[in-house]
Amino acid sequence: MKVLTQQGDTLDLVCWRYFNTTAGITEEVLSLNPHIDQNTPFIPHGTAVELPQYHAPIKPTIHLWD
The whole domain housing 7 covers: 2-50
Nearest C-alpha neighbor of 2 from the set 37, 53, 41: 53
Find the Cα–Cα–Cα–Cα dihedral 18, 23, 25, 30, rounded to 10°. Answer: 110
More reliable by pLDDT, 64 or 10: 10
Q: In total, how many domains does the chain have?
A: 1
In a domain, 56, yes or no: no
Tell me the pLDDT band of 63, cut-offs 50, 70 and 90: confident
- Give a yes or no: residue 57 inside a domain: no
What pLDDT does 44 receive? 94
> Could you tell me if residue 25 is inside a domain?
yes
Residue 58 lies in a domain: no
- Statement: residue 56 has pLDDT above 80: no
State the pLDDT confidence band at 21, using cuts at 50, 70 and 90: confident
pLDDT of res. 47 = 94
State the pLDDT confidence band at 62, using cuts at 50, 70 and 90: confident
Q: Is residue 61 part of a domain?
A: no
